[in-house]
Structure 1
Amino acid sequence: MQLLRSYGSSIPQLLLAGLVLSDLGLAVPVQDSPRQYLLAGLDLPPKYTKKVKSPYNPDYRDPLDSAVDAVGNKLDPLPYRNGLGASVLGPWNWERSRQSPDLVRPPSTDHGNMNNMRWSFADSHVRIEEGGWTRQTTVRELGSSVDLASVNMRLDKGVIRELHWHKEAEWAYVLDGEVRITAIDYEGGNFMDDLKKGDLWYFPSGVPHSLQGLSDNGTEFLLVFDDGNFSEESTFILSDWLAHTPKSVISKNFNLAPEVFNHLPKGEKYIFQGSYPGSLEDEQPSGKNVKKSKYNFSHRMLDQEPKLTSGGEVRITDSKNFPISKTVAAAHVTIQPGAIREMHWHPNADEWNFFIRGRGRVTIFAAEGTARTFDYVPGDVGIVPRNMGHFVENIGDEPIEMLEVFKADEFRDFSLFQWMGETPKKLVVDHLFKDDPKNGEIFWDKVKNAEKDEVTLPDSGKEIPASDNTDEL
């Protein structure tokens, strides 16, 4: 992006070069979407211009269970699959079915009972306050989210989320705008920082802190707490505490006359319009016994050098590079169109997902022949329980940007591809290709180098075509 800003007059040429290299199968950081081709003055490739065939009719056959982008292709999902199913006669929520086509017509590989693993923040209650709002997704909204809970919060310019603390640790990702955070540590040292989009903060249990919107349009961020039972209503708030403490006690505590406190707030302020702050230097406390914290409660996640994969980018932030974050680890993942977050599992914690942009599908394998597929759009939360195998497939025409968050001190995952390559050839072939040695050789030749490619783009960069036995729209 810096390169594009520096050479603004050459944007079409840069996009052209990137798209050409992308079509050649080279890993370059290009957003492969219709908009990027049009900005570069290029004709749309066939994958964006070909006539879409509807899979939602009784004659359609697809033994590969290929993904369907019902939103992008403006399709109305119906419960037909490979000659089975029927139309819908009763009430039907078309908008929701477009967002979850794999619930309407599950892949033939789905089987058994599984708890719901998807929730949209659009279905969460919004609490509206002066200059801001907040909404939460906890175990009460998403019953499978037992380890982590989340809050989506918006603060306008100068608006304050008042001084408070929690029983739970708080991890946060800035979705947009700029925010100032303040805190004190367990040793009484103070901390202040100004954060931008893509930055993090982490406050351990009990650490008091505040948040304030800075940029012209304020800020919006995602908060994650290390207990699924968390409630934003159970926060310990400064004004609420003093409103429920006798004035005589407050007077003694601060060694001031009781009348000094005659006009304290009569209840919690929670979110309110505050005075716009000066610079960090100007606002730094300077009393006789004031000291700065020796801990760093913030981290620039998107400023990390990403791991470039064949189909996207991965940035991992955990206690190894953000030492204060002892109970939450996370990954920021970008998945280009046509790519997948490879088949894998996490041995140390449930995976809590938040989709920032793009459209994806996830199939979760829970052992005992149980598997279920869910679809996700921006603003959705997903859960994958610990050790359950899964993937994330980009089914849309723009990159997926998502967060993988874990109640753990370190990010850990096992790659199916890497596992196969690290296992003796005869064992692998005997397991999967005992009666098909020819394809067993093809498979082994592919996996033998045991390459871990977290976000994988097929060599052709194209979807495997489904059966031609379809009806056009």
Structure 2
Amino acid sequence: MPKFSRNYLCTVIVACLLASSRVHAAPPLSLSPSPCSTSSSPNATPTVPYASNDPNYPLWNPDSNIVPQPMRGTFGANILGPQNIPLELENPSLLAPPTTDHGDVPNAHWSFSLSHTRLQTGGWARQQTVKDMPIAKQLAGVNMRLEAGAIRELHWHKTAEWAYVLNGSTQITTVTPEGQNYVATVHPGDLWYFPPGQPHSLQATADRPEGSEFLLIFDNGAASEDDTFLLTDWLAHIPKGVLAKNFQTKHSAFNQIPDRQLYIFPGNPPADDAQPPVSPQGISSLPFTYEFSKTTPANYSGGTVKIADSTTFKAAKSIAVAEVTVEPGAIRELHWHPIQDEWTFFIEGYARMTLFAADSNARTFDYQAGDIAYVPAPYGHYVENVGNTTLRFLEIFKTDRYQDVSLSQWLALTPPELVKETLQVSDETVNKFQKEKQLVVGPQ
């Protein structure tokens, strides 16, 4: 049964007494303080019951040694049929959601473990597109692995390509439409970016014997690795006579080109200090890589944040990122992004996130390393560390400038009387709101 304030109950009683004595002219229910209030100062009577004081903590985690059930308090019942226990242990907020969840928010959870893996000689790739998660309309992701020396062949895309190196080192090459070239080696935690249509290649170095692994992001949710414009695929579909004429050589020069795309194939590891051919147009003055790993993060009470967008990584005109760490029990504060959807990739740890989609629609999801979350603009959300180790993840956006709105900052910079009358909170609580963004808030 919902709990009502003393003022609210007194007001209802008074209204009922008035109604019984004035059947033909009952006055409207008054929202002023009731006569039976014992408060020393008047408080506005809420027009609706107070929200539940149930903290709605997670009921278990993937390491729990239990058989999970769809039960929370007095709600739900145990499962009598078959169960996928490992999957249900990973998703407590789906099987036993917080009582604050309501309505119909689309699925915002995908794992690369559920993606089809394209196996190649020298590596593999797996992707997530809007086909896997229909809510993810603005951004798509690829997880790719190259053995030492393996090459992701010369190619280009309809969309921009942004990357974050997860492990090992990768050498990238590119040539701009103006004929300027660029070669660089990118290390763990670093970034690269290529504009739409700009040709490039990727090759794992031997800095680590196993090669490299990285995350690719495309600024279109429908973008697919299968739609790449590949050099070998193109030349295999051009008459040999045209190739000979284009390059001013004989037909036999192309007798051994592949008859289909290579995509990923073995090669000799490049030197870290490899240099591109000398170009009459020179080397690109705009770096297409960024040493994000060397950026000093901002420290907060519950973790750290560092940001890379076009203000720091000038080549990245359409994709921005925040790398966030959250300590156990802390949260990435309640916030939203005004105009950009967020594509989130979890690198380590366990997380819980509730998406608020307006009109009483809210849904909670659980995530772990290798998972993807998607938050449409301007859904309100938080990211809570529900594990015992540091949570680390990337917030990625289709934009040239990172932006977010902090709930605490908004309330702190709004006239306090207005906030108190809206939320029915005390001066002490209002004074807790922070006028500067906290981003990551420590546990209580």
Q: Under a length normalisation based on structure 2, what TM-score does the superposition of the two structures give?
A: 0.86
Secondary structure of the corresponding residue to residue 280 of structure 1: coil
Map of 1:155 onto structure 2: 146
1:237-282 CA distances to partner (integer Å, 9 max, x unpaired)?
Answer: 001100000000000111001111111111111100012223434x
Secondary structure of the corresponding residue to residue 235 of structure 2: helix
Secondary structure of the corresponding residue to residue 302 of structure 1: helix
Map of 1:286 onto structure 2: 278
Within the candidate set 374, 380, 383, 1:392 is matched to 383
**Cα contact 1:62–1:82 (8 A) shared by 2:** no
Whether 1:301 aligns to 2:292 is yes
Letter in 2 for 1:280: D
Whether 1:260 aligns to 2:245 is no
CA distance in 1, matches of 2:308, 2:340: 15
CA distance in 2, matches of 1:100, 1:279: 43
Shift of 1:66: 1.1
CA distance in 1, matches of 2:68, 2:151: 44
**Cα contact 2:64–2:89 (8 A) shared by 1:** no
CA distance in 1, matches of 2:84, 2:259: 45
CA distance in 1, matches of 2:87, 2:272: 46
1:287-337 CA distances to partner (integer Å, 9 max, x unpaired)?
Answer: 6x3621111100111211111000000011111111111111110000010
CA distance in 2, matches of 1:321, 1:342: 24
Map of 1:452 onto structure 2: 437
Letter in 2 for 1:135: R
CA distance in 1, matches of 2:179, 2:338: 37
Within the candidate set 237, 261, 273, 1:244 is matched to 237
**Cα contact 2:343–2:395 (8 A) shared by 1:** yes
In structure 1, list runs of 5 or more residues that go unmatched.
1-60, 434-438, 461-473
Shift of 1:76: 3.1
Letter in 1 for 2:147: D
Whether 1:317 aligns to 2:302 is no
Higher share in helix: 1
CA distance in 1, matches of 2:411, 2:188: 38
Within the candidate set 412, 426, 435, 1:440 is matched to 426
Shift of 1:165: 0.2
CA distance in 2, matches of 1:250, 1:432: 72
Letter in 2 for 1:444: V
Shift of 1:363: 0.3
CA distance in 1, matches of 2:64, 2:353: 19
**Cα contact 1:331–1:405 (8 A) shared by 2:** yes
Shift of 1:202: 0.5
**Cα contact 1:112–1:369 (8 A) shared by 2:** yes
Percentage of pairs with the same residue: 46
**Cα contact 2:147–2:211 (8 A) shared by 1:** yes
Shift of 1:74: 3.1
Map of 2:17 onto structure 1: none
Whether 1:101 aligns to 2:92 is yes
Shift of 1:452: 1.3
Correspondences of 1:326-337 after superposition (within 5 Å): 326-337=317-328
**Cα contact 2:171–2:272 (8 A) shared by 1:** no
1:146-197 CA distances to partner (integer Å, 9 max, x unpaired)?
Answer: 0001100000000000000000000000000011000011211001100110
**Cα contact 1:169–1:226 (8 A) shared by 2:** yes
Task: Give the root-mean-square deviation of aligned CA atoms.
Answer: 1.4
Within the candidate set 350, 360, 364, 1:359 is matched to 350
Whether 1:67 aligns to 2:52 is no
Map of 2:369 onto structure 1: 378
The verdict on how the C-alpha distance between 1:373 and 1:121 changes in structure 2, with shifts beyond 3 A counting, is: same
Within the candidate set 196, 218, 222, 1:225 is matched to 218
Map of 2:70 onto structure 1: 79
Secondary structure of the corresponding residue to residue 103 of structure 1: helix
Shift of 1:104: 0.3
CA distance in 2, matches of 1:348, 1:113: 22
**Cα contact 1:353–1:402 (8 A) shared by 2:** yes
Q: Max radius of gyration: which structure?
A: 2
CA distance in 2, matches of 1:62, 1:366: 22
The verdict on how the C-alpha distance between 1:103 and 1:388 changes in structure 2, with shifts beyond 3 A counting, is: same
Shift of 1:63: 1.9
Secondary structure of the corresponding residue to residue 308 of structure 1: strand
Map of 2:103 onto structure 1: 112
Secondary structure of the corresponding residue to residue 377 of structure 2: coil
1:185-219 CA distances to partner (integer Å, 9 max, x unpaired)?
Answer: 12110011001100000000001000001131100
Map of 2:270 onto structure 1: 277
Correspondences of 1:332-347 after superposition (within 5 Å): 332-347=323-338
Letter in 2 for 1:108: T
1:23-79 CA distances to partner (integer Å, 9 max, x unpaired)?
Answer: xxxxxxxxxxxxxxxxxxxxxxxxxxxxxxxxxxxxxx9921012342233333211
**Cα contact 1:192–1:280 (8 A) shared by 2:** no
Letter in 2 for 1:440: S
CA distance in 1, matches of 2:430, 2:272: 59
CA distance in 1, matches of 2:131, 2:188: 29
Letter in 1 for 2:276: Q
CA distance in 2, matches of 1:421, 1:76: 44
CA distance in 1, matches of 2:159, 2:217: 10
**Cα contact 2:178–2:281 (8 A) shared by 1:** no
Shift of 1:410: 0.7
Bigger relative CO (Cα 8 Å, ≥ 6 apart): 1
Q: Under a length normalisation based on structure 1, what TM-score does the superposition of the two structures give?
A: 0.81
